[in-house]
Amino acid sequence: MDRDEVDRALARLGEEHEAIETSLLALQDHAGRRLLEGAELTGVTKDRWASTEQAITLLWGYFDAYAAALRSARELRARRRWPNRDDLVELTDRLRGPSVTVAGSAAHPAPSVTGPARLSERFTLEGLVSRMNTLYARSLDLVVAADSVWSALPARIDLLSAELQRTRSLAHSVGVRPGEHPAGDDLESITHELSTLRAQVVSDPLAFWSPAPVSSAPGGGRPDTDRYDRAARALEDVRREIEAVLAVRQDSEERLLRLRDVLSRADRTLTEARSARGEVLAKIAASEVPAVSGPPTVLQERLATAAEYRRHAQWHRLSPLLESLEREAEEELLRARESLTAVTAPLAVRAELRGRLDAYKAKVARHGMAEDPLLIERYDAARRMLWSAPCDLRAAEQAVLRYQRAAGEVLVPRQSGPRDSTGHQGES
């Protein structure tokens, strides 16, 4: 190396010395490192931090050796303004050759940090910088990861625990307790999970760290919040359940009144269906009339149980009972209406046939054909069938159809009317 190359190399190495020193001091003062030093660690964090502590100690040993070698090279360069050949040879050896010896016993490196333990190692200055950069990146990665987990999870767990306490207090006020309501058991489970989770996060943060698949930056990754997220979702489900119970306490009387009304309507509809069935059996012959079920006594008994729950403020039991009762009461009312419709179907058919017969008679009368003997005969036959009891619907329907066909045959010629010489139809 000539003099200019030596000066440039010394300047570059000096800049690297400052950068490394700044980084090491920042690592030394990093909040995550101080927390790791003071925490009672367990699990993977305990093992990795023990190795990282040795790496940081080794880093300072490397840095001291690097600083001493750089200082020695600077002193050699400062002897003469114009170094002679021997000076340049020696400077070249110090700046480019394996001139730095680091005693392994001084730093006590673990085999897992730098490979198999050695009594001493020799480095070039650039090689030593590369080694320090590698150890620094690994150490900083661990420190940043632990700090990120500690910064993210414990505070969130504490907030969720505070929300849990509020929910527990609210649950207790409406009778939701462990062993008496599933939501009370869930609250106990969430409480235990959050307590366990926080203790594990504090003592073993790296167990809750998900490194990025590909990342060159220290601390690349994110805290693993899966367990926290599950606990948060479980608490939200419980909170909604408690709100439902509260809603029951506020509007239970109104809902019970609505239930009584729905069941009463279903009972009246079934009573009407039973009465209509007797009428149909008496008035309609050869017709299959479905049976009608009895009153919804089981639902009435459950409704009485719901009222009892309300009187004793057992809201956690009243809430699911009301929900099922409301659904089943509406279904019961629908079944009652369907039963009434099915039972009265023959009467509806008879009414439709009566209306059709009278409509055709009125139409015939408008066209002046009311006195037609065939129409009178067929009308009287259909009317006798439809207004007699019991009524044979099949025969009555055939009689109405015969009357319709006869009316159609009589009305068609009159509706077509005479045609004039131009071929246009005249008025009828």
Q: Global pTM?
A: 0.57
pLDDT tens for the 428 residues of the chain, in order: 777 887 788 888 888 888 888 988 988 888 888 989 888 999 999 999 999 989 998 888 888 888 888 887 777 777 777 877 777 777 777 777 787 778 764 444 455 555 555 667 888 888 888 888 888 988 999 999 999 999 999 999 999 999 999 999 988 877 778 887 788 899 999 999 999 999 999 999 999 998 887 666 666 788 999 999 999 999 999 999 888 778 777 888 888 999 999 999 999 998 988 888 887 877 777 567 777 777 778 888 999 999 888 887 777 788 888 889 999 999 999 999 988 888 888 888 888 888 988 888 888 888 887 788 888 888 888 888 888 878 887 888 888 898 888 888 877 765 545 444 333 444 43
Question: Cα(first)–Cα(last) distance of the chain, in Å?
Answer: 129
Closest CA to 113 of 32, 59, 44: 59
The conformation of residue 419, written as its DSSP 8-state character, comes to: B
CA angle 51, 106, 65 (to 5 degrees): 100
The answer to whether 170 touches 163, Cβ cutoff 8 Å, is no
Axis crossing angle, helix 373-386 with helix 315-366, rounded to the nearest 10: 160
For residues 285 and 254, what is the distance between their CA atoms, to the nearest angstrom? 46
Task: Fill in the DSSP letter of residue 180.
Answer: T
Q: What is the pLDDT of residue 166?
A: 92
With beta carbons less than 8 A apart as the criterion, state whether 213 and 141 touch: no
CB contact at 8 A, 316 and 176? yes
- What 3-state class would DSSP assign to 284? strand
Per-residue confidence (pLDDT) for residue 204, from 0 to 100: 94
pLDDT the model gives residue 105: 47
DSSP assignment of 208-263 equals: GEEE-SS--STT-EEE--HHHHHHHHHHHHHHHHHHHHHHHHHHHHHHHHHHHHHH
* Three-state DSSP state, 342: helix
pLDDT for the residue numbered 107: 45
Residue 119's pLDDT is 67
CB atoms within 10 A of CB 61: 17
